[in-house]
Structure 1
Amino acid sequence: MFWKKFNLNKQYNILYLDYNATTPIDPRVLDAMLPFLKENFANPSSTHYFGSNINESVKTARIQVANLIGADETEIIFTSGSTEAINIAIKGVAENYINKGKHIITVSTEHKAVLDTCKYLETKGYEITYLPVQKNGLINLNELNKSLRSDTILVSVMYVNNETGVIQPIKEISALTHEIGALFMADATQAVGKIEIDVDDFGIDILCLSGHKMYAPKGIGALYVKKGIRLPAYTHGGGHENGLRSGTLNVPSIVALGKACEIAEQEMQQDAERIVSLRNELENELLKIPETFVNGSIENRIYNVSNICFKGCDANVMIGRMKNVAVSNGSACTSAVIEPSHVLAAMGLSDDYAFASLRFSLGKFNTKEEIKSVVEILKTELEFMNS
């Protein structure tokens, strides 16, 4: 198995269980992109032979991304990542569909990229409904149905929650959304490359993804926009990316993203089977510790995440003490802010429980030995903190 050849623990003395924050670059992805940082440096928009050859590599990458989510390559727009893709999509729909209405629905547990964009639109006169979630992190479909209106233009729901791994019922949500003629967008940053996605079958109109969550570099992502959906230019200056995002393409990273998508399509199932086994082993051992419990739905979650509350523990202190263990107490995008996770708070957890929770997110390079080491270190630190 390829994963055996790549071991972060041996290379850097790090026990890395924070794959939802970012992933290491798959060495095969790095190999694919390196030539485009060296000899294959031409601008893909150039009309000479050199540029045309590079453009063919961009086209191949676009097809690879499209194939992974069941889209057509003409529906793929390359971005710098999910945050930019989310901004392009939500602001674009707000601008171009204003004649239908100014009402948008999202969820209180969304990533800050969605929530902050919606907060911005509120200052421009748009009305945003923030759906609550149940204790298990799932929305109530009846609540969604009650919130839908004739002037609703967009429903944006995260496919897989970045903190808890909870998977929302995407098909049911899209069906309800389309009944009133609104568009459905899925932030699939934590889903793409891990579970199978077919945008047509799932009824997804707009989808966002980010390369660094799936073993490609940081600074590259993609936006899927279904044919027929109109979005205005986000940046001007050349009409690149179907006129949405002008600027010289980041070819090395685009090629890398394409390669990562190709690998994910081929190896997703075997990775899932191995990772869920490791996650379950970790979780089973940690839940033996008194007064611990899993945050969010156990049944409806992705296979690589376990968000566990260790009652009485200070997660920030714990993370600081475990010098060679990389875990998280929330989203990496808000970890600098010392406040309880908005995701856990929305699920009804008290501040004390939220501050006592750790997110373990595993990836394809983790090993059984690493899991055992993390369990031992964590138990030792808890005993010290509680002594």
Structure 2
Amino acid sequence: MKPRRVALLVETSSSWGVQIIAGVRDYVREHERWVLYVDHRGSYERQNVPTWCEGDGIIARVMAPALVQHVRLNKIPCVNVSQVRVPDAVLQHVTGDEPAIGALAAETLLRTGAEYYVYYGPPKRDYYTDRLGAAYVRRVEQEGFDVTVIQPDRLLRTDTNPHYNQLELADWLTALPRPVGILTWNAIGAFRLLETAAWAGVRVPEDGVSLLSGDLDELLTRISQPRMAAIDHNPWQVGYEAARHLDRLMRGGAIGPEVLVPMTGLVAGETLPNATHADPLIRKALQHMASRLAVPLSVPALATATGVSRRTLELRFRQVMGSSPALEVRRLRVEQACRMLKAGDQPISEIAAACGFTAVELLQRAMQKQVGMTPTEFRASQGRKGSKSL
């Protein structure tokens, strides 16, 4: 018997899409022999039906009527992993639990002590009802607060400028009353606000602006400064469950009710007050790191010091911090080096050694990755002359 052919029409440009594909792959490895066809696409590309899409099943972000018509005409079992609901689409829906995510976001921001609340919503999408934002607004209003809802497309874009206007966004951000809690619908929105805040001189969260992303994107989380807090929708499980339901449909099963996959939960970052240290294991690990910045510290040694296995430690860091223990050690060392570079004219070689780097070149590479500058360039940017002594 030939293996079934399954098309995956999910973007490969986001962590969400990649994790869904990984979940499908893992289901196939455990249960079935499928040939998987992946359509490499971006999140906002127009959804066309590939000419090769004539297999035994489809898992897709169903965003447009054309795909619905293709599925109907060819009688292909299809599972939709998108929150979009195209009219008259008789499909199996397997998605993240937006109402639960919105409620968790509200609880998280309410704990910050904010007195004002904002929802920075989704871009305009046909056939989409925002259940995440609705749940967030409802929960915050239950506590007696109003929520200002921002639709980014209407506020920031025009026919001649399809991208966001940073000056206009900065004016809006700096005029917000504080302390304010802001939920963004996705990580792109959070990243955009962090860029704008830095440009406008607003420190998050020190200046009374708490920021939470309504979804997790590993790349944007890693490169954002400060590192954004986010909610993980659990896309791997969405992909796994989508594959399980497609398997059932291809065996003649009937379309069932919508499946809402439970989220993984909050991935703490640096954009919420004290959120980074809320997890006891993470707090203990970070304290141990901070006390040993000047000496070598391996991940196995850190795991031993915190009383867990290396795998447990790495998994917890990935879930809570969106990072790894090794990357966090490097981040803390670079931050310490930056403080020392700001403070005086100590030779860079001494700073490197004091921060656990065995060579100046290692500090240079680490700073280039994290702050985009070498130690000499960073010191110069702070209004100090770079030391010639290495």
Higher relative contact order (CA 8 A, sep 6+): 1
Same fold (TM over 0.5): no
Bigger Rg, which one: 2
For Structure 1 versus Structure 2, the TM-score category normalised by the shorter chain is 0.3 to 0.5
Larger % of helix: which?
2
